[in-house]
């Protein structure tokens, strides 16, 4: 497929695990190696030539809005959730008028990756997209190429890349790496309100239309204040 022109950046979370830092700033503004998380997130979007990034905001939203006014990458559109935090799918549904009718990238504003300069991950996702077979394509990572992840893994992929929940099938688990492509048709008829993407992941699994693509490079997730040091150490080692 051609490169999606739009990305949805999920930046509205409360960042409770990042307290006390997030008592005074939203999590996407927390700095790792001198750079806010949301800047790490937007850099690959800019490099891929995406024209528009829709960023949802809720907690301490003014700080994110002010910071993004100086963004030199894609055109930034703010999706305002100040009145009610809508969760991952709810935030996307609320922003659908800005996202359009074609497949779009999704990215979590508190995870990022490095080391894919020779084979960038977002263009790889676009190249791998198969509209006839897929409703959702998620970027995945192995445990040995991740820093900061504390879980047991999210999905298991079959030989064709279809994903199923790791809890439901045997195999080597992979981590959902906070980026992917979604076709907006999956939200057809959805009402605005609080909703999780996990519901839509499960629906796509049930129809065999949730796929994964192993990422290139190293993935970092920064969920707690202690994780900042780990992320910065990993970045230093990778440079």
> Measured in whole angstroms, how far is the alpha carbon of residue 184 from the centre of its chain?
16
* 98: pLDDT strictly greater than 80: yes
Q: What is the mean pLDDT of residues 183-204?
A: 95
CB distance 95 to 60 below 8 Å: no
Question: What is the pLDDT confidence band of residue 212, given thresholds at 50, 70 and 90?
Answer: very high
pLDDT score for 70: 81
* 202: pLDDT strictly greater than 90: yes
Measured in degrees and rounded to the nearest 5, phi and psi for residue 207 equal: -105, 5
Question: What is the pLDDT confidence band of residue 210, given thresholds at 50, 70 and 90?
Answer: very high
Mind listing the pLDDT tens digit for each residue in 46-63?
A: 999 999 999 999 999 999
61: left (phi over 0), alpha (psi -120 to 50) or beta: alpha
Measured in degrees and rounded to the nearest 5, phi and psi for residue 236 equal: -60, -40
Mind listing the pLDDT tens digit for each residue in 137-193?
A: 999 999 999 999 988 999 999 999 999 999 998 899 999 999 999 999 999 989 989
Q: Is the pTM of this model over 0.85?
A: yes
Q: What is the mean pLDDT of residues 125-148?
A: 96
Q: What are the CA-CA distances from residue 193 to residues 35, 53, 217 (Å)?
A: 32, 21, 36
User: What domains are defined for the chain?
Assistant: 6-238 (3.90.550.10)
pLDDT score for 72: 78
């Amino acid at each position: 497929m051609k490169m999606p022109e739009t990305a949805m950046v999920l930046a509205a979370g409360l960042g409770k695990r990042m307290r006390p830092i997030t008592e005074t700033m939203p999590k996407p503004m927390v700095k790792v190696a001198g750079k806010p998380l949301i800047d790490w997130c937007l850099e690959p979007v800019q490099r891929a030539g995406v024209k528009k990034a829709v960023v949802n905001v809720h907690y301490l939203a003014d700080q994110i809005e002010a910071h993004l006014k100086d963004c030199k990458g894609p055109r930034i559109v703010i999706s305002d959730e100040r009145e009610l935090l809508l969760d991952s799918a709810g935030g996307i549904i609320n922003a659908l008028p800005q996202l359009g009718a074609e497949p779009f990238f999704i990215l979590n504003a508190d995870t990022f990756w490095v080391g894919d300069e020779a084979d960038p991950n977002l263009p790889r996702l676009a190249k791998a997209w198969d509209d006839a077979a897929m409703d959702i394509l998620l970027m995945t990572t192995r445990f040995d190429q991740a820093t900061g992840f504390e879980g047991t893994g999210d999905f298991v992929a079959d030989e064709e890349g279809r994903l199923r929940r790791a809890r439901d099938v045997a195999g080597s688990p992979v981590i959902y790496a906070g980026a992917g492509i979604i076709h907006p048709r999956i939200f057809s008829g959805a009402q605005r309100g609080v909703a999780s993407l996990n519901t839509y992941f499960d629906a796509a699994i049930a129809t065999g239309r949730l796929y994964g693509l192993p990422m290139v490079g190293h993935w970092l997730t920064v969920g707690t204040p202690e994780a900042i040091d780990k992320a910065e150490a990993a970045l230093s080692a990778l440079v």
